Amino acid sequence: MSYSMRDPSRGAVAGRDEGLRAFFVAVYARMGMALAVSAATALIVASSPALLQAIFGTPLHWVVLLAPLVMALFMGRAMLNSTPAGATGWLLVFAAVMGVTLSAMLIIYTGESVVRALLITACTFGAASLVGYTTGVDLSRMGGILIMAVIGLVIAGLVNLFLQSSGLQFAISALAVLVFTGLAAWDTQRLRVMYLQNGGAPAQMAALGALSLYLDVVNIFVALLSLTGQRR
């Protein structure tokens, strides 16, 4: 008589790993959608002189600059209280608003500079996210430090809107690259640990996780473009 024995724990681990992979596929897919929406919106606005004049040639440009920051304050709660489709919708609306803001970068910097910054951003984010996913080092301790650093960068950026100091802008951009690269690794590990500890994640978490990683990517890109970009 022949029979096969199977370790139930192996099946559980395999199922958990498959679930984790599926979760991250959903996260990265939504992040990609958000980035595509931002890129399309930025291109549409940048290619329309009428829209550029209406947005950046009037006091409305202050609304455009500050709207993403204000929206980010309540986006998390709004997404968690939504359906999965609603959470993704919130993400894409935010991405469109951010795209309007980013359209200014396409006017200020040359196309070559934008493409170069995009490529460096993709490599930087990819490496940081891979480290966050695979490392056995606990990155949770640096999370609080990085969040405080982001708050400091936001305050410094708002102050520099009035000071217009090139030296301060350079320092802000250089620090932003380091801070948001660290956040990309931290956010990735945080999402992975959350999924494993809870044995899964609410469907809305894919969109919420995508929002975190999307913000990391966008801020790395903007900082790199500020550091390396050639103005028109």
Q: Which of 5, 24, 67 is nearest to 191 (CA)?
A: 24
3-state SS, one letter per residue, for 98-132: HHHHHHHHHHHECHHHHHHHHHHHHHHHHHHHHHH
At residue 229 the predicted structure's pLDDT band, cuts being 50, 70 and 90, is confident
pLDDT digits (tens, 9 = 90+) for 54-63: 888 888 888 8
Sign of CA dihedral 205, 208, 214, 216: negative
pLDDT digits (tens, 9 = 90+) for 89-137: 999 999 999 999 999 999 999 999 999 999 999 999 999 999 999 999 9
B/e letters for 148-184, b = 16+ CB within 10 Å, e = fewer, are ebbeebeebbeebeeeeeeeebeebbebbbebbbbbb
Statement: residue 4 has pLDDT above 60: no
